[in-house]
Amino acid sequence: MRDHRPPASAAALAALTAVAALALACGPAPAEGPSAAGGPAPVFRLASLDGGEIGPQDYPGQVVLLEFWATWCVPCHAQADILEPLYGEYRDRGVEFLAVGLGEDEELVRRFVAANPFPYPVLIDPADELSWELGIAALPTLMVIDREGEIAYFDAGVVGEDELRRLLDGAGAGAA
């Protein structure tokens, strides 16, 4: 009987092609380097699903956690599940969470959020301009801004509950 499986090198090539396609789906690389931890928080305002426009600068003196996500991003859903109970724990400690939907139109995000509510504001960037401006190359990406308006954390990938507590506390959550 003949084996019809592709040779290992073909399987490796297929895997690399899939990874490259996923990377391209996130958009081209930024023109300048990404925002760095220790640098000033980005200043932007985006439309909120609740109406109006808001951004991290609307929370001076507070710790702000930004989750950059998309409806199609399965790891983003896992991150949101981790963030939801933490929001309840930290919202009365001078911390605000903002979910920033990237690259999808308002109606799609609205339908997703109706089926999967967020307890904190959801902003939309349908043109995906922030990915370029901030150097976001993968989703989910989290940014934590400390009470002084500096970026305390900025990285892609799912961050666990214990690490998030450490990051939020280190950024001044609960400090007077």
* CATH (domain of 100): 3.40.30.10
In a domain? residue 175 = no
pLDDT of residue 174: 76
Give the largest CA-CA distance in the chain. Answer: 74
3-state secondary structure of 25: helix
> Can you give the pTM of this predicted structure?
0.80
Q: What range does the domain containing 75 cover?
A: 46-170
Q: Taking the CA atoms of 140, 38, 83 and 147 in sequence, report the sign of the dihedral they define.
A: negative
| Both tokens assigned to 130 | 């922030």
pLDDT of residue 170: 96
In a domain? residue 20 = no
The total number of structural domains in the chain stands at 1
In a domain? residue 141 = yes
Q: State yes or no: pLDDT of 163 exceeds 80.
A: yes
98 vs 143: CA distance, rounded Å: 10
